[in-house]
Structure 1
Amino acid sequence: MMSDLDEAIELHRAALLLHPPSHSLRSNSLNNLAISLRDRFKQRGMMSDLDEAIELHRDALHLRPHSHSDRSNSLNNLAISLQDRFLQRGMMSDLDEAIELHRDALLLRPSGHSDRSMSLNNLAISLQNRFLQHGVMSDLDEAIELDREALFLRPPGHSHRSSSLNNLALSLQDRFHQRGIMSDLDEAIELHRDALLHCPPGYSGRSTSLNNLAISLRHRFLQRGMISDLDEAIELHRAALLLRPPGHSHRSSSLNNLGNSLQDRFEQRGMMSDLDEAIELHRAALLLCPPRHSHRSSSLNNLANSLQDRFEQRGMMSDLDEAIELYRVGLLLRPPGHADRSSSLSNLANSLQDRFRKRGVQSDLEEAFSLYSQLSYLSHAVSRRRLNAAKSWAASADIFNHPSVLLAYKIALNSLDQQVALLSSSSHHFDVIREDVSSLATDAFSCSVRRGALTTAVELVEQGRAVFWTQLARFSTSLDELSVSGDAGMVLAEEFKRLSFCLRNAFDQSEDQSPQIRQLTMQWDEVVSRVRMLSDFSRFLLPPLFSDLQKAAEDGPVIIVNAGQHSCDALIIRSAGDPVHVPLDIKQVEVFEFSSEFQTLAEQFGSSDYQLTLVGILRKLWNDVVDPVVRALRESEVRPGSRIWWCPTAEFTLLPLHAAGPYEKGRDNLSDIYISSYTPTVATLVRARQQISRDASSQHFVAIGQGNPVEGKELKCVTPELAVVARHVTPVISFTSLEDGDATVEGALDALDRNQWLHLACHGMPHRTQPFESSFAMHDGPLMIKAIIRSNSQNPQFAFLSACHTTVGDKKSPDESIHLAAAMQFCGFRSVIGSMWSVDDEVAREVVSAFYRKLIGGSKRLDCTGAAVALHKAVRSLRKKNIPLEQQIVFVHIGV
């Protein structure tokens, strides 16, 4: 009863008056009064009580010096009160001080101390709270280790063991959401299971424990798709619901959780009984969320989603009409600035389009696109919800040929761009790319071309491809430049990094609207706006314009080749003027089949003679794609012998455009007409051109060879190959060599940091499903892409990757170009030679010898801009020898 607490506070005040500053019991009185005030704050929420408690705890601590037996208790009490105030006011200084106080208390509670587990637990909670604010993974990692130690000190039978099990599980779940390591989620589930055993029937916290375990199992189902996890989650939610009868404060949450899980199972198994039950549960949850309830908008949306699903199954217009009305009411509860407004706009628009298809009422379609258009006014600091809504808008506008279609694609690609920016230091970024990019960029390109907006086509396709590399390049460059642009720039760079961390964590932790997300979004917007006001940063976080991208064509045309749902096209970017459009007489499905056929063939190269099949594919590639482009180049007066750059998209990235030709006597193949290079994106080539080579005397060349790796067959020609490289380049540049036992992962990374020119002869090991684990085979293990991109090369110029499959990435996301050659490009190498499939090591040695001979020639100097011509000449010299065609065309040049 509050009257009892009020009376206790007055009694403690009276006792304090009887214990003046010099009294031995004053610290106890201060502490008792402070604890009672903190208890009253928790009941009534009056900040003045908490503020006073903190000052009293400070006074008590002052009276308990380092030698005092109760000092650890005073440290702990003050820390807990400061943490409570942080949770109310969000002042980081309170949380930082609480952490330091908990650390001091822990030092006074060494191994064997009865309260050590409590101190470990308190410090872990504070660190986890700071992680949620700043996103510093070291805080979360430390919290997990502290939780583990606390759990060890609370063995089976300990009264607080279930609390420790739960705390560790929740921290591991947080880390799973950050790093995506499934073992963290698996362990969290086992800990939740153990915690549930400590909450037997009749235990007050059993429903919470059931709920926690069910939520973790649903997360794992969403990752692995194991229906048994979802089935168990549903049974646990049912059990939790039984413990939350009518009148229970968390009943609506349990109804909602069970309804969502049943809807997930319906989507997997298609059992209408699951969907019908989900609808009834959501109706019951909505009754418990009356007007002004904080969860009412979510409850309206959940019920509407279920009704929409049932309409799609049974076609009952009453379900669709009710869903539309629920979406309308829900939208009113999500005004501009609400984190879920974009989802509500999209849901209502989609339902209106469904009703238009059924009834043909034009006003439904007009309203749908009016709703979509509101997405263009929402804040540009976004969540996945806005990205999905913008994709839905673009797809619908394309289907209905609505005039907003190009704006829709721009908004969708901007949303993707900014979403990946927020995830730039999270393991989630590539999952987002795989799930959300899909054909967004290629469809945007195709749509723009069909509407004659050729420069827009270039801008949009550029924005939606290789977004991983684009973000890394942007943030490693722009923020560095911002930091050194002056005091204002340095402050803004640090603030931008901090807010990006906080926003990413807020989106990961919350599926509902929260004041924290609204506040962080506004702060993020403000910082971006202030950065753009600085000189030279007006386009900060904005994609490049066509005028910027056109600089890529300074030394020769760049050809974008694209396969869209409605058309396949090529655009030729020239150094001046608009792009030239080349329609291609091939359909997207044919490109997919063509690419698949070639990939199957390439996997068999070297096992037998596939030359006739290969020639057939190269002829088809010539007739359907390359020849029309060549004719357009000739009409644009691009002279034979000139350099050209291919920038293929999607499945075109897997095809050897450089080797296309009629392969008939008396007719020229592409390699007889032009010298081909590739670039993964136009902006990549622009950046490579802007990097200026230093004086050759300050450059260094390293050749790394590994013919005897831990795994893989022996490569007998590595040593002769490195000797060939040394013979050609030693007279013109400082040269070192790493071979066999010296060619380790650490040695190679150190060489990347110190040398501008690199020749690498070893096994290349692509990883088709986890492209960041693609690697070069070193003496002591794999040198992976994720290690390469962390290297700090100084003014790198050229890399020859004499290894297999160095331009092969993830088949599911070919536009991302996550492969070994691309990693070298990101490190700054302006010019790279890589391979499209397996390389014969004897052929590699011959190509290498001819290449360096042609590159150096009579000039006795190295220039990376001559690499494409040197490779072209070296490959032509192989035609006179009895070398299989696939080995003549396996090497490709990328970059300047």
Structure 2
Amino acid sequence: MAFFLLFPPESTGQSLDSIPEIDKCVTLLEHNLSSFPRSYPLRPRWLADLATARYTRYNLSGQKEDLDRHILHLTELILLPLPSRFGLHVNIVDAFHRLADALFSRYHRYHQKSNRTEDIESSIKYHRFSRELPLEAFGIPINDVTETLVLALGSYARSGNGNALQSIEEMLALCRELLASRNSEYYPTNPLVVLSISVATEYSRSQNVDPLDRVIEFLREAVMACPPGLPQIPLSLVRVLNVRITLAANCGDDLEEALTLLTRVVSSDTLDNSYTLSLVRSQAFALAAGMASLRTSEYPSAENLERAIALCRSCLDGTSRDSSEIGDRGRSMIVMLLEACLKIRFQYFGLTDSLQQADSCASETDSLLLSQDPLFTNFYESASGKRVYTIEEVELKIQYLQGLLSGAQKTSSSWHCVTGLGNWYKKKFLITGDMTDLEESINYYRMALSSFPVDKRSASFSCLMLGELLLRAFDRSNGVEYLEESISIHRRILEMQASRDTCFRALGRLSLCLFFRWLLFSLAQDLDESMDLFSTAVSDQYATVYDRLEIACKWASGSRVSGHHSTMSAYQNAMSLLQNCLVFAPTIETQHHHLVAMRRMSRIPLEYASYLISVGRLEQAIEALEQGRALLWSEMRGLRTSIDQLREKKPELALRFAKVNQDLEALTTSISRSQSETVEVGEGAKDGEWFDAFGRTLNEQRKLLEERDGLISRIQELPGLQDFSKTLSYDALRDAASRGPVIIINHCKWRSDILILLHNSPPSFVPTPDDFYARATKLKDNLLETRNKYSPGSRKYDDALRSTLNDLYTLVGRPVIEKLRELKVPDQSRVWWCPTSVFCSLPLHAMGPIPSDDGVEQYFSDIYVSSYTPTLSALIQSRGPKVPTSDDPSLLLVGRPNDDLPAVWKEINAIRTHLGQSAHCLVNEDATLEAVKEGLQRHRFAHFACHGNLEAGKPFDAWFKLEGDDRLTLLDIVRSHLPDAEFAFLSVCHTAELTDESIADEALHLAAAMQYCGFRSVVGTMWAVADDDGPELAKHFYRSMFGGEKAHSYKRSARSLRNAVQKLRRKREMKLERWVNFVHYGA
């Protein structure tokens, strides 16, 4: 018993692994201490053992009393008179170190939330003192003490007491010391993490971190020296980079560096599956998703958008709904970011599944917001436009925020209250239209700028919103004071060096404001500055091509209205950007969606041409129309550029260029998908990327385009190939008129004109009346509305068509015929129509009736043999060098006779009568998709007699009905390469008709697709075909086409169609719409 009185189990090395054993030991030690005087030699040893026992008990019980006793016993031990402490080898240095650690633990466990800092202040003081002691002599690594001192300083800095910046400075110096002492067995991970957290915390409180740049440079050194398997270190650097990103606003380099580091972390295969590293990975994903979304906002591009979507999805896939890895707030933020990105993707590319996924995100966001801070939820709802609120709901939101704001201190939360109120009053104004509500919105944004400490990013956001509201107020009230303040606010944004995207938007709005002020006061300096700012914004390489094009269009319109000298430059910039917009989307379907979305801006080639005509530059006007119309077909034709000349000079370069074009065409004509599948999180992805199918398609397209541009640059350096892949000049375009004049009709709101392109003479100008634009628009609208309402074949439509043809003759036909005769173009000559805008839907070939001396009713096609071409380039290509073939043509005849089309058998027999064995028939069950595609490769001529269909808004889904469920779509045709093809007769409904919601100048219909894939001439239809007309027309057409010697060339197809239609017209009771329906495209 005496032995245990003097030396309890703790001091003899026996195990104390249960609370009862520890309590027994504590009782004995406390008995000893109470039984002997303070000067007793064993007292220091008993105090040391009792402190150890209490700490062991604390680790098992978690009771604060045990930790308090531990600290009390260590304090008494340290304060004992000096001579008595040297009994039985008590390590007083270790006791001092343990006391400092215990004070730090007690602060963290019990006093941090109450912000009682006595313990942490004492811990810091004791650790500083400990560093002055001979620690190594007592078996205490100095790095342990230094690490804990850094952790304590970090806690104190984050508490908001004392001088936080001074604490951070000391932490930085200590971390440098620790990093310098690293070796193969030691790396100061925790101190570096705490340093970064402390810097981020201090910024969030004061927006003032003086040593920020030095901390970033130091952490960069730490990352360079970091061994594998420690993702906390690059994550720490990202954390402080994020501070500077928020401070600086203009932050491209920091964003790129942070995203590179985060991608390395989340794709690393050196991480184990411990909870800590799993948490680090989840946090890295969340940071990466947030920063990628920020980059999409600051530097908008399709590539950045896809990376943000991939990282958001990966973050959400890698963290469960119920996990605490990023928390509900973190998850809700990532879901919101993904929702926003998916909506932008839908706006860019029209991917409907992206919109559905965005709606799914919105539902999850609503669920997550239920558990969030009401202020956060309210602010999100105020800034979101995803739902419509009633006036009662808006007023309740306003009341809630006003209640929070009253009496509140001026903090970042107050800024959110004020900004939220500005947003809600804007929503209220959009409901009520009451200027008082708009004024309230403006006043709250003024308050947000003047009264609350916020970072530069938030301040620039407030400025941008205020500037927009003021411009809206000016538009509503014509109050010049609003305009003046809006000008000042937008100038302020540019002066504060805000983010690139914010500055771009400020430039655009300031340009408009100054232009409006010029309209009011005619100050020349306002106009000049407005045009200069437009030019600056258009040149911003960091903005999207779409946004720059929108600015360029406004610049062109404003400069033309004002007569400013920059008009030509504005139009040239707009034309260049319009072409670049096409490759913004990776596939032909998404490119079409993008063009439809910017329908208003797609008219810029017509406007530019009208401007050039107005200043007498007719040849340049023709070049502009060619450059800016049928962009999709032109882009696809560019991928089939002839490389014969290049092959002679550089065969290897020609081979690579052909391969890149082939790959790019296959990608461009692929079906757009945006499935949300990603690389499995945790497996790692190649190059650290997690893209879905659409994201991978876009990235692959960008790589191919970059390589193709590089190859073109190399090719253009070769002798004789400097014009390779460039747009055709006027001298080249005039070859389109080598077989007859081409009549170009430019339909534009500024002015409309008719130009006649001639092969060996300058273009000829045909004047038009001032109301030409409005009259033509009305003709097209009336004709299409009547067709949609009453359908072809009805009396109503026949009357509407007759009126349209008569008015068209007056508007276009008469002046064109007069000009052609003035130019000595003989009657019965071939002419080609190259229409724009509404004229793409009007039957120009059938204008009339034309008065005649003998009283015989005539139409335009009776005087001149008419064909159409979407562009001059398409016509030139259709006359290109021909591959030698046999003189005897073979024709692929695809027919689907059934109850709906009983006359198809007669049509098939009529063709067989004239072609005999040269007609290869695929009828009914033989007309499968594969058989038709294979047959098109083998035959020079093709004739389709089956059902055709248009899909509204989806021109590439237009199709020919084949066997069973098989369909030959426009996209199938586009993918085809038919170098031997010559002529196609499409005796099918709607083959030359534009789908609803399509762009007229893109000429996306089946006839144009057949011409693109290789057919030099195509007969199509402008609307539904009467079943009985097919056999009659085919009989007369093929009799004319194949009659006589050497008559079976595609070059006779236009005249043969005209002759056949004339015979069809002579049939008794033949309605107008039945013969007008048929049109000829190509050579």
TM bin, normalised by shorter chain, reads 0.7 to 0.9
User: Whole-Å Cα distance in 2 between the matches of residues 265 and 738 of structure 1?
Assistant: 65
Letter in 2 for 1:324: I
Q: 1:129 to 1:302 in 2, by over 3 A?
A: closer
Q: Distance in 2 between matches of 1:488 and 1:125?
A: 44
The aligned residue for residue 46 of structure 1 is: 216
User: Which of 194-203 and 442-451 deviates more?
Assistant: 194-203
Aligned mates of 1:478, 1:669 — CA distance in 2: 40
Residue 867 of structure 1 corresponds to which residue in structure 2?
Answer: 1053
Aligned to 2:571: 409
Instruction: Name which of 653, 657, 677 aligns with 1:486.
Output: 653
Q: Deviations over 1:503-539 (max 9, x none)?
A: xx9xxxxxxxxxxxxxx9xx99997995696347756
Mapped pair 1:777 → 2:961? yes
| TM-score normalised to structure 2 length | 0.64
User: Structure 1 694/229 Cα, relative in aligned 2: closer, same or farther at 3 Å?
Assistant: farther
Q: Given residue 471 of structure 1, which amino acid in structure 2 is its aligned partner?
A: E
1:639 aligns with 2:639: no
Answer yes or no: is 1:833 the counterpart of 2:1019.
Answer: yes
Structure 2: distance between partners of 1:487 and 1:129:
42
Letter in 2 for 1:197: S
**TM-score under structure 1 normalisation?**
0.76
- Alignment partner of 1:457 out of 621, 641, 666: 621
SS of structure 1 residue aligned to 2:442: helix
User: Map of 1:361-372 to 2, 5 A cutoff?
Assistant: 361-372=523-534
Decide whether aligned partners of structure 1 residues 124 and 393 sit closer, same or farther in structure 2, where only a CA change above 3 A counts.
Answer: closer
SS of alignment partner, residue 590 of structure 2: coil
Equivalent residues of 2:412, 2:452 under 8 A apart:
no
* Equivalent position of 1:422 in the other structure: 584
1:884 pairs with one of 1059, 1071, 1080: 1071
**Is the Cα contact below 8 Å between 2:841 and 2:994 reproduced in 1?**
no
Residue pair 2:382, 2:423 contacting (<8 A) in 1 also: no
Name the CA shift for 1:314/1:290 in 2 (closer, same or farther; >3 Å). Answer: same
CA RMSD of aligned residues (A): 5.3
Q: Which residue of 1 aligns with 2:871?
A: 681
Cα pair distance change 1:93/1:531, threshold 3 Å: farther
Instruction: Give, in angstroms, the shift of residue 155 of structure 1.
Output: 5.8
The C-alpha deviation readout for 1:725-747, integer Å capped at 9, x for no partner, is 45645645xx6544434545566
- Alignment check: 8 A CA contact 1:693 1:797 kept: no
- Deviations 1:767-820 (CA, angstroms, capped at 9, x unpaired): 344434433334316544445434455554433222112222245532232222
1:188 maps to what in 2?
358
* Match status 1:623 vs 2:836: no
What amino acid is the match of 1:556?
A: G
Q: 1:393 aligns with which of 549, 555, 562?
A: 555
Instruction: Please give the residue correspondences for 1:161-560 in structure 2 after superposition, counting only pairs within 5 Å.
Output: 167=334, 170-171=337-338, 173-178=340-345, 179-200=349-370, 203=373, 218=385, 227-228=388-389, 259=422, 263=426, 266=429, 270-287=433-450, 293-294=456-457, 299-332=462-495, 343-372=505-534, 374=536, 383-425=545-587, 427=590, 430-435=593-598, 436-437=600-601, 439-474=603-638, 477=641, 486=653, 534-535=717-718, 543-560=727-744
CA distance in 2: counterparts of 1:638 and 1:683, whole angstroms: 23
Q: Equivalent residue for 1:789?
A: 974
Select which of 791, 803, 806 maps to 2:988.
Answer: 803
Structure 2 Cα separation of the partners of residues 331 and 525 of structure 1: 37
Aligned partner letter, 1:864 = Y
Aligned-partner Cα distance in 1 for 2:656–2:593 = 29
Tell whether 2:1049 aligns with 1:847. Answer: no
Q: 1:82–1:97: 8 Å Cα contact kept in structure 2? A: no
Task: Assess, with a 3 A threshold, how the Cα gap between structure 1 residues 189 and 366 changes in structure 2: closer, same or farther.
Answer: same
User: Structure 1 residues 826 and 37, CA, compared in 2 at 3 Å: closer, same or farther?
Assistant: farther
TM-superposed deviation, 1:875: 1.6
Equivalent-residue separation in structure 2 for 1:758 and 1:253 (angstroms)? 68
Q: Which runs of 5+ in 1 are unaligned?
A: 21-25, 61-73, 222-226, 506-519
Count, aligned residues = 826
| C-alpha deviation, 1:705, in angstroms | 3.1
Aligned pair partner of 2:904 in 701, 715, 718:
718
The one-letter code of the counterpart of 1:590 is R
**Inter-CA distance 115–239: structure 2 relative to 1 (3 Å threshold):** farther
How many angstroms apart in 2 are the aligned matches of 1:690 and 1:393?
40
After TM superposition, the structure 1 = structure 2 runs for residues 638-717 of structure 1, keeping only pairs within 5 Å, are: 638-664=825-851, 665-666=855-856, 668-690=858-880, 692-696=882-886, 701-707=891-897, 714-717=900-903
Q: 1:51 offset after TM fit, Å?
A: 6.5
Cα distance between partner residues in 1 of 2:886 and 2:427: 62
State the secondary structure of the residue aligned to 1:184.
Answer: helix
CA distance in 2, matches of 1:472, 1:642: 32
Deviates more, 1:555-564 or 1:133-142: 133-142
Identity, % of aligned positions: 25
Is 158-167 or 653-662 further displaced after alignment?
A: 158-167
CA contact (8 A) 2:809 2:850 kept: no
Q: Distance in 2 between matches of 1:751 and 1:341?
A: 58
Contact persistence 1:879–1:888 (CA under 8 A): yes
Matches of 1:352 and 1:680 in 2, distance apart? 40
Paired residue type of 1:633: L
Q: CA deviation at 1:471?
A: 3.4
* Cα distance in 2 between the residues matched to 1:465 and 1:393: 21
User: Once the two structures are superposed, what CA deviation does each residue of 1:446-495 show, in whole Å capped at 9, x if it has no partner?
Assistant: 3332322212222233333323333343456599999987399869989x
CA distance in 1, matches of 2:886, 2:746: 39
Residues 809 and 818 in structure 1, CA contact (< 8 A), matched pair in contact too: yes
CA 1:576–1:49 in structure 2 vs 1: closer, same or farther (change >3 Å)?
Answer: same
3-state SS in 2 of match to 1:556: coil
Distance (Å, rounded) in 2 between the aligned partners of 1:579 and 1:270: 53
The 8 Å contact of residues 831 and 895 in structure 1, kept in 2 or not, is answered as yes
Partner of 1:70: none
Distance 2:1013 2:323 in 1: 52
* 1:823 corresponds to: 1009
For the 8 Å contact 1:120–1:149, the answer to whether it is kept is no
Report what 1:23 is aligned to: none
Residues 81 and 323 of structure 1: CA distance in aligned 2, closer, same or farther (over 3 Å) = closer
**What is the DSSP-based 3-state SS (H/G/I as helix, E as strand, rest coil) of the residue aligned with 2:583?**
helix
Secondary structure of 2:825's counterpart equals coil
134-143 or 584-593, larger mean C-alpha shift: 134-143
After superposing the two structures, state which structure 1 stretch, 167-176 or 241-250, moved more: 241-250
Q: Aligned partners of 1:420, 1:50: CA distance in 2, in Å?
A: 41
In 2: Cα distance, 1:819 partner to 1:320 partner: 47
Matching residue's letter, 1:563: H
**Equivalent-residue separation in structure 2 for 1:549 and 1:261 (angstroms):** 57
- Check conservation: 1:193, 1:213, Cα contact below 8 A: no
Shift in Å, 1:229: 10
- What is aligned with 1:765? 949
Provide the C-alpha distance between the structure 1 equivalents of 2:894 and 2:607, rounded to a whole number of angstroms: 42
Q: Distance in 2 between matches of 1:826 and 1:328?
A: 50
Note the 1:147-162 alignment, pairs <5 A. Answer: 154=321
8 Å CA contact 2:282, 2:325 repeated in 1:
no
Q: Distance in 1 between matches of 2:494 and 2:256?
A: 29
User: Is the 1:557–1:574 Cα contact (8 Å) retained in structure 2?
Assistant: yes
